[in-house]
Amino acid sequence: MGRMYARKRGKAGSKKRYRESPPSWVPLSNEEIEEKIIELAKKGYSTAMIGIILRDQYGVPNIRQVLGKKITKVLEEHGIKLDIPEDLNNLIIKARRLRKHLQVNRKDLHNKRALQLIESKIRRLVRYYKSVGKLPLDWNYQKYVSLIG
């Protein structure tokens, strides 16, 4: 896939193999995996980090393959709801970090441009999540940034 803001070709990447059924060598049962997911979420880990921990420490290759549902779906079923989606949150953190950098280095034109690109990605994602229903229709990026600092 090509890049959105650069005139370069994209990188080829490996694809996960298609499997009909979950692997038989997974050491944990479905209930134990769900318990681990909830336990790690209560400790404050993000969904991506939960997947990495389960892969590296517990030998679960792919949560979606084993359970048949994503980590966010498991969390929602157990009453743990994320206030905003993880990819949007990561972009907001990145923009906040860049804004802080630009307060100190006002003439850094490359990073001013990078901040514009990140914020346009945020606006696009917000529009998508509002249309899907993952964000309320009155959610505003500027108000959210002022609330979190």
pLDDT digits (tens, 9 = 90+) for 4-32: 666 677 667 777 777 778 888 888 999 99
pLDDT at res. 131: 95
Dist CA 57 CA 60 (whole Å): 8
Give the tokens for residue 121. 């990605």
Domain count, the chain: 2
CA proximity to 87, closest of 137, 43, 135, 41? 135
Q: Is residue 116 in a domain?
A: yes
Q: Is residue 22 in a domain?
A: no
Backbone angles phi, psi at 105, to 5 degrees: -110, 80
pLDDT digits (tens, 9 = 90+) for 31-46: 999 999 999 999 999 9
CA proximity to 22, closest of 61, 70, 58, 55? 61
Q: Is residue 100 in a domain?
A: yes
Give the tokens for residue 41. 């979420």
In a shared domain, residues 144 and 109: yes
Q: Is residue 12 in a domain?
A: no
Q: Is residue 125 in a domain?
A: yes
Dist CA 111 CA 124 (whole Å): 20
pLDDT at res. 103: 95
Q: Is residue 112 in a domain?
A: yes
